[in-house]
Amino acid sequence: MSEEIEIKRVRGTGWKSVYDTLRAEILALALPPGQLLDETTLAERFDMSRSPVREALIRLAGEDLVVTLSNRSTIVAPIEVASFPKYVEALDVAQRMNTRLAAALRTESDLKIIAKRQKEFEVAVKTNVHLKMSEANKQFHMAIAYAGKNTYLASFYERLLNQGQRMLHLHFEYLERTGDGYLLTDEHNLMLEAIRGKDVERADDLAHAHTRQFQDNFIRFLRENYTTDVSLGSRVAAE
């Protein structure tokens, strides 16, 4: 991938350092889908016992970033191409509902937070570092979700955004290559303005279009790059 990946590695400070490092490497695709994560090897790498490594892997599994196979080995969670249509269907529903609620219920304080998160995303886009971009994108959308005042929908939405971060990195790569990266920041600004104006239907339409853009560009990326150096992983092959 084209971006420069700079991931801080902290040694000997417990499970949190292992978790933070592995999570960043997984999201940045430095650890590719399907990569075996051996506890002993990781313990040697981080210069600590296997217990904190195991704890870190358990927490990563809770975020669906790693999976444990039937033989008890752990791998980086595959990006399940076959289930992508179902994933994006759920994302569309969650994104539309949270954005609708935000437009109906937002406060002035909520608007300030959403606008701040959008500015942070614009700064992240200029760095061209996909991990920063995806994290900032998530925070923008979660600020919208929090403005909707429904913790159940916000929690569901956050889980979907977490699961989609690696796919979003591939989406960013496609936008960079095609020169359409401006669409993301422009769409965010339009969503913010619809929420500011309490235009529920406009907010809904924009949220839906935002999901469709991600879906269409990710599918185009797969068609162009499925056999290139970006592996999507396979549970069957790993087992």
> pLDDT per position in the chain (239 positions), as tens?
444 444 454 444 589 999 999 999 998 888 999 999 999 999 999 999 999 999 999 999 988 899 988 888 999 999 888 888 999 999 999 999 999 999 999 999 999 999 999 999 999 988 888 889 899 999 999 999 999 999 999 999 999 998 888 888 877 777 777 765 555 678 899 999 999 999 999 999 999 999 998 888 888 877 776 654 445 555 443 34
Question: What residue type is 132 in one-letter code?
Answer: K
Task: Give residues with Cβ within 8 angstroms of 13, minimum separation 6.
Answer: none
pLDDT at 82: 84
**What whole-number distance in Å separates Cα of residue 211 and Cα of residue 4?**
27
Q: Return d(Cα 168, Cα 217) in angstroms, integer.
A: 10
Residues 67, 76: Cα–Cα separation, whole Å = 6
Query: Which CATH code for domain 15-76?
Result: 1.10.10.10
Amino acid at 114: I
Are 91 and 85 in contact, with CB atoms under 8 Å apart? no
Question: Superfamily for 81-225?
Answer: GntR ligand-binding domain-like (1.20.120.530)
- Predicted pLDDT of residue 181: 53
Q: Phi/psi zone of residue 80: left (φ > 0), alpha (ψ -120 to 50 degrees), beta?
A: beta
Domain segments of the chain as ranges:
15-76, 81-225
